[in-house]
Structure 1
């Protein structure tokens, strides 16, 4: 497991490379002659590409951690700059040199690669073994099949389909809370699209009418559900389901298992309930 000390050590090594590069390029005497110029360039390349490798290692190892505790403010500042892709002298030099070298190379495999993906490419075998130690392919597809598809007689809006596909991916990878939250978002999106197509939106109003939606309201989903029921776009049963989905999504951090359902089962139920409502809207 990657530790906080590990990150601190790598950051300090990156800092050392950056300082040596700056000292070489700004403080050292100008190379005299071809041999000194060649030596100068070789050292600069070694430092710059060493910094690239160290940057990729620092950012790459973040894939496996959610928290890094670093007390040293200078080290925290460096890792923050690396994360935000702030320029460093070493990285600029390496990136510019790589661009020059790669300019006339057509074959990707022969190009100088400096992206963070190269860190993972170099560790591909180890990552492959790690991934498949917990990821079981048949289960992934089985969970996607459990979610299934939205079956309608009319064409769904594209953004509804995109959201639904994200829900399927979340559930397939075991991200149950994400699945519940996304289901609430999808419900709101589907109702918004349907109500918009029926002309139920106004920009602003001082009056609260039963079948009119004011976009300035704080909780639009509650209003969407109410208007959809009043307009007979939803049945009483679907209104009840929609409010349950809204409440689960709102309280996902504090949600508890309900009788007859595991947390995973509750996530699947929420997704299925959302699908049922969308199918009713677009029946």
Structure 2
């Protein structure tokens, strides 16, 4: 009996060990794969033969989130100007600017609006413009006559490399583009938005005409479905600001209509602010019965 008692447990352990599945066979992935194959479904597997885990989609919403304008106060132009001027009391009216923020209803992916506009009432008349063109050429002489502060090739290249970027805009003549690309100033001018490019309209044949336009115009670009740009000095009258506002919105609508074959864009909200003041959503009206006289919103 004692011999049988020692043999039976050993035999039982051998039978159980032969019936116990291995760790690989007991894993979930092969069992899941086998079950799917029995059902006639294809299963994606990784390099080790295990079923691939489903990955979560990282793609966010295709459109920018917009809030309901009916749930927020909106202002007439004169009423917004009155409050903005009150927040800018004591500041130089020629230095502080009215700023426009145009929110667009558009998708996240796709082309963006970028252009340049010339206002009926110039906002920035002292823009410092640099022109890269062959020295002693006709284009260089015309650019200087039009008001460019820096003209040439090697002179401009050396000034930029030395860190003396004393200009707000930079234009280039097509004949100077090979020399500009050779010196590699893109890493310096690019982050500042000053690198000439045919896409942005800063590589032109008639540099003099472009200089004159830029001295009285403003370049704008859509960023995160919003276009921001200054549209007037703080001393502008409501009529002057209204004229610049109308021209800006008309130009943005034209820019948006030119992209209809690729993406649909439309103006959703117009916000007026200032250099240091808050923003006010405009309702499209010029003034109300409670608005102050337009003469009170002009000058000092």
Do Structure 1 and Structure 2 share a fold, with TM-score over 0.5?
Answer: no
* Structure with more strand by fraction: 2
TM-score, L = length of structure 1: 0.24
Larger radius of gyration: 2
* Structure with more helix by fraction: 1
TM-score, L = length of structure 2: 0.23
Higher relative CO (CA 8 A, sep ≥ 6), structure 1 or 2? 2
